[in-house]
Amino acid sequence: MFLTLRKICTPSIMTVTEKRTTLLPQPKEEELIERKSDIIFTTPPVPKASGFQLFEKLGSPTKIVAPMVDGSELAWRILSRRYGAELCYSPMLHSRLFSENEKFRKTILSPLDGKPGLDRPLIIQFCGNDPDTLLSAAKHVVGRCDAVDINFGCPQGIAKRGHYGSFLMEDWDLVYKLIHKLHTELEIPVTAKIRVFEDWSKSLDYAKMCLSAGAQFLTVHGRTRDMKGQKTGIADWNLIRYIRDNLPEGTIFFTNGNILYQDDVPRCLKETKCNGVMSAEGNLTNPGIFWTQNENKDKLFPRVDKFVREYFEVVKQCGEGESKRCFKTHLFKSLQTFLTMHTDVRAEIATINRKSSWDELERIVKMIEKVVEDIFKKDNIEELDTIKVENLESWGGRYRDVPYWRLQPHFRRINGVDGRSVIRQIVKQKDSKRKADEPADEEDSQNKVRRSE
Ligand SMILES: Cc1cc2nc3c(=O)[nH]c(=O)nc-3n(C[C@H](O)[C@H](O)[C@H](O)COP(=O)(O)O)c2cc1C
């Protein structure tokens, strides 16, 4: 068997396949269907859409709402689609809890989750470290989503304790088994979301291994496991592009990280050559992040009052449950800047909880509407209510100044320093490092030319 694999592998693939011959479960010979460059694909016994077919079936989505615990639940997904999102991921669900506990299943997913016509396309994400448990959990969502994703990216302490997410990055054998189990035994496709290693070629091998295990889409978050919290920093699109360039053509590949503004979406598609762009924090602070259709200011940077009203109506439509529970969290995230100016509203939002009545929530919405209504009574409001677009930055995009009564782009505050200044500082450092490296590069490339002459 191993000989067969070796025979059909080119030398360049030996890094991945050799590892697999010793570490990973091998596909049965009759399962081997295709070899694209250096990845061996296996066919599942159950016929189901492969990566490209699935992508097309979902409408070739380019704008994707990331999986987010307390972030990408039903109401937020419905709302995000109204602002241009084309594919949404559910929050991560814990496979053991989900497979064992019916009450948990009913609490976390309502009958409306994944309903065709309302909540599709949808990929439901799980975390886990036991292939059988993962399969048993995933079987419960067949018919309620288009594919199941596995979270290999979570860097939080809880994932370390539970041994899942990015803490499986050292256990390729298990990662392979988890993906392969769903690929071969679940009726719907499986996809994977991963982080990168500092080592580029290791990241590439890891991506290849996930694909060869049966992942039909691969989402690459261009940050390492250590890049979290205060150390989040900037995702590395060059590394993402390197991975992309070295995967077989036709691989469905999503890029995750660094989306600040709407025009970062086409820029990311172009620079990383991905099929789709995934956003988490950018989408949380402004679902308008995916509005690339036109320059409608109310879609690009929605007015706080109109946005909250629209969102609240969607939450009501979703009824009691997760969407209502997350209402407060979303208000804090999406209204962050506005609430620093109107601390009285912030204090009122702080009083609500999962048991609050619809009337109590309505009172908050009305309070926000009144505040913005008063702002719009100003004589010079037309002049004030403009979005200023700044000069082109070295990173390829432009900052915007958005009035605080509109949803804002996301800048993570680091050690009490405004996130925008932090980003400027990081970009400046990268620019000067690049400049410092340039002469050496030139000399090096000249040497190469000389050598080839
Ligand atoms: C509130 C929040 C919850 C998240 N929950 C998940 C999750 O459930 N599953 C997952 O794979 N990643 C999760 N992430 C990570 C994001 O999906 C994404 O990979 C990360 O935030 C980087 O994307 P960004 O730069 O667009 O924010 C979460 C991120 C945030 C901010």
Indicate which CATH number applies to the domain containing 213: 3.20.20.70
Of 40-54, 129-143, 155-169, 383-397, which gets the smallest average pLDDT? 40-54
159 and 192 housed in the same domain: yes
| In the predicted structure, residue 433 carries a pLDDT above the cut 90 | no
Closest ligand 1 atom to residue 333 Cα is 1
| In the predicted structure, residue 344 carries a pLDDT above the cut 70 | yes
pLDDT at residue 35, as a whole number: 57
244 and 322 housed in the same domain: no
The model's confidence at residue 343, banded by pLDDT at 50, 70 and 90, is very high
Closest ligand 1 atom to residue 257 Cα is 25
Q: Which of 378, 394, 421 is the last residue of a domain?
A: 378
Look at residues 333, 334, 311, 315 and name the one whose alpha carbon lies nearest to residue 324. 315
Backbone angles phi, psi at 309, to 5 degrees: -60, -45
Q: Looking at the 3D structure of the chain, how many domains does it have? A: 2
93 and 70 housed in the same domain: yes
User: How far is it, in rounded angstroms, from Cα 52 to Cα 190?
Assistant: 13
333 and 214 housed in the same domain: no
156 and 264 housed in the same domain: yes
Between the CA of 90 and the centroid of ligand 1 the distance, in Å, is: 11
Q: In the block, which residue shows the tokens 């995009």?
A: 397
Q: How, if at all, do strands 39-42 and 32-36 pair? A: antiparallel
Among 63, 64, 65, 68, name the best residue to mutate to test ligand 1's pocket (greatest count of ligand atoms within 8 A of Cβ): 68
Closest ligand 1 atom to residue 149 Cα is 11
270 and 365 housed in the same domain: no
Between the CA of 157 and the centroid of ligand 1 the distance, in Å, is: 14
Query: What is the average pLDDT across 187-203?
Result: 98
Torsion of CA 320, 349, 336, 232, to 10 degrees: -60
Q: Which of 378, 395, 422 is the last residue of a domain?
A: 378
285 and 305 housed in the same domain: no
pLDDT at residue 295, as a whole number: 95
Query: What is the average pLDDT across 223-245?
Result: 95
* Residue numbers of the domain that contains 153: 2-295
Query: What is the average pLDDT across 299-309?
Result: 98
Backbone angles phi, psi at 221, to 5 degrees: -90, 115
Token pair, residue 65, equals 């709402």
286 and 337 housed in the same domain: no
160 and 277 housed in the same domain: yes
pLDDT at residue 49, as a whole number: 86
As for ligand 1, residues whose beta carbon falls within 6 Å of it are 66-71, 91-92, 125, 151, 153-154, 193, 221, 256-257, 259, 279-282
Between the CA of 226 and the centroid of ligand 1 the distance, in Å, is: 14
Ligand 1 atom 19: residue of nearest CA: 221
52 and 192 housed in the same domain: yes
Between the CA of 232 and the centroid of ligand 1 the distance, in Å, is: 12
Q: Which of 280, 295, 310 is the last residue of a domain?
A: 295
Query: What is the average pLDDT across 241-246?
Result: 98
Residue 141 lies in a domain: yes
pLDDT at residue 14, as a whole number: 33
Ligand 1 atom 3: residue of nearest CA: 68
316 and 283 housed in the same domain: no
Torsion of CA 426, 432, 433, 436, to 10 degrees: 180
149 and 220 housed in the same domain: yes
Residue tagged active-site, from 154, 210, 274, 326: 154
Is residue 61 within 8 Å of 88, Cβ to Cβ? no
Decide if 154 is catalytic. Answer: yes
